[in-house]
Amino acid sequence: MYKYSFALLLCAVIALVSVVCIPIITQPAKKTPPHITVVFILDQFAYNYLPKLKPFLRYGIKSLLDKGVVYDDAHHPLAVPETSPGHHSISTGSLPTYHGVAYNSWTSLIDYTKIRYETDLSPRGDILRATGEIQPGASPHNTTVDGLSDQFMRLSREQNRRAAYSFSLKMHPVISCANRLGKALWLDSKTGLFTSSKAYFDKLPAWVESFNKIHHDATTKPLYWKTAYPPHSKAYAFPHSRNYSYAAYPTSMITEDTKPIVIPGVSAHELFVRSPQSSELLFDLAKASVNHLQHEGKDRLLLFISLSNLDLCGHMYGPDSVECIDIIYHLDKQIADFMHFINTKFGAKNVLYALTADHGVCPIPEITAQKGYHPAKRIVAKKIIAEMNDLVEKKYRLSNFVKSYEPSFFIVDQQALLAAGKEKGDQIMHDLKTFLIAQPAIKKAWLRQEIAQLPFQIDDLEQFYKNQLYKDRNGDLIIMTEPYSLITNYEKGTSHSSPYEYDTHVPLIIHQEGAFKHTHITEKVWIPQLPHTLARILGIVRPSASPFKRLPGIV
């Protein structure tokens, strides 16, 4: 009897131990190296949108949030987190001080003209277009390091099966991702057709020509904007979502399906690229490319899909607007549709997904002030430049000394500064710096050479300015605004030009079915850690100028 009970007890213990231990002693699921990598970049998708809109995200973004490795505190270490440096964080894993793309554009210190990152006037940059007016060419020649697309294509193994493609409505984000060895395709603002440059193709591939033929009137036919949810649903019921007093467009673009969108003075193309239809067209192009590449026997793909409509709309209407909110709902559905297409073709376990953003956005300052945060201010740059020039004129008899402002920096007359001599030149610059610090929306100001020498910690907001110093691509006087304030060349709308949370904190999710367990990583991480992480998962060399370690949570 006693012996019998002992045997029973032993059995129960063994059963219990095996139940408890099974998850420990079982081998972890064997990871399938991904055949396809898709990086979704939602331009201007500030992290702040997620907690606000999460109850209404039901499709692609939701499935990635529910199944992926989700980084809750991922930041761009940039003081002016703009599209080109932000995309370089994602593609090169490096900092502007190494990759050279200090901003979207910088000012020539010789003739004070604006130099856009992607502009290339050499034959290498020639745009591939049969018709249309001449415009400056485009290439990645201003990027001074390699990126993930380069490393993916450089690998000799499986070379004939590999392709790295980047797609966007705009040329600068897509060139930022394609690097030199990938291929870039963007929507030409003059013709409304997809194009590229000599930097990527000798001539436009036939499949792109065919796609263009089918969609030749995409940007010119009457455009309607129907909301993803019924217009009066809770999904849009947020304060100031229909406040157009400070928007750069005076009226809404949302017309439902009753009448086409018309905003006086705004071209059909400008309206199209701000609509949900533009990202749908981009996804259609990406699908056509995958079909074509697969037909060519290429089944090891790296795809960057940079979605610009949220950014283009955000600058006009601000992140509180129903337009921005609705674009995110549309993107949620379109991403799900694209993931379904890819998963069906290649099997979900073979596909690695990443979703992130190139930067966030500052809410419209006047709306922030209306909400009760009164320090939020807009200072129009030309007004402050006029006051600076007045000061120099009166005290030093030098006219038009301050030449221009680009977010976070002022450029002064280089020749006049040189001619003034060291002592007087230092005095002028000191006076201008003192003037700037006294302005209500400015927290700090530095001379360029001064901030270059100051020591900061990696987390310090001041360090983000140093991360963006590169040769002659910055200004003479660098400023840090107060939070929620903007110094801008525009009297309405908003931008992203500060080291603060709303501009630098973005979503970051990595997902491959069966490879990584769903988890939330709460520790602070940096977006430039992503390319190193993706390189490791793909078994390729990390981009060579990435000083960042891999992201946690990915074994």
Nearer to Zn ion, 94 or 227 (CB): 94
**Contact yes or no for 96/547 (Cβ under 8 A):** no
Minimum Å gap between C-beta 528 and Zn ion is: 16
Q: Which residue has the tokens 């006087």?
A: 477
Cβ nearer to Zn ion, comparing 34 with 493 = 493
| DSSP reduced 3-state for 87 | helix
Cβ proximity to Zn ion, 44 vs 191, nearer residue: 44
Alpha-carbon distance values, 254 to 46, 173, 276, 283 (Å): 22, 26, 10, 22
50: helix, strand or coil = helix
Task: Provide, rounded to whole angstroms, the least separation between the CB of residue 94 and Zn ion.
Answer: 18
For Zn ion, the closer of residues 76 and 403 by Cβ is 76
Of 404, 417, 384, which Cα lies nearest the Cα of 103? 404
- In angstroms, give the least distance from the CB of 331 to Zn ion: 14
Exposure string of 354-393, with b = 16+ CB inside 10 Å and e = fewer, is bbbbbbbbbbbbbbbbbeeeeebbbbebeebbeebbebbe
Residues 6+ apart with CB under 8 A from 178: 140, 149, 164, 165, 166, 184, 200, 304
In whole angstroms, how close is the CB of 444 to Zn ion at the nearest point? 25
CB 533 within 8 A of CB 551: yes
DSSP secondary structure string for all residues of 181-242 = TSEEEEE-TTTSSEE-BTTT-SS--HHHHHHHHHTTTTTTS---B--SS-TTSGGG--TTTT
Which lies closer to Zn ion via its Cβ, residue 389 or residue 495?
A: 495
- Give 406 or 413: the residue with its C-beta nearer to Zn ion: 406
Residue 63 Cα to chain centre, angstroms: 21
Give me the least distance between CB of 484 and Zn ion, in Å please.
Answer: 19
CB of residue 185 to Zn ion, shortest distance in Å: 18
Please give the residue whose beta carbon sits closest to Zn ion in the complex. 83
Dist. CA 187–CA 170, nearest whole Å: 6
Q: Which residue, 126 or 270, has its beta carbon nearer to Zn ion?
A: 270
The distance of closest approach from Cβ of residue 84 to Zn ion in the complex, given in angstroms and rounded to an integer, is 8
Minimum CB separation of residue 83 from Zn ion in Å reads 3
Determine if residue 372 is left, alpha or beta; phi over 0 gives left, psi from -120 to 50 gives alpha, anything else beta: left
Kindly tell me which of 169 and 510 has the beta carbon lying closer to Zn ion.
169
- Return residues touching Zn ion (CB under 5 A): 43, 83, 311, 358
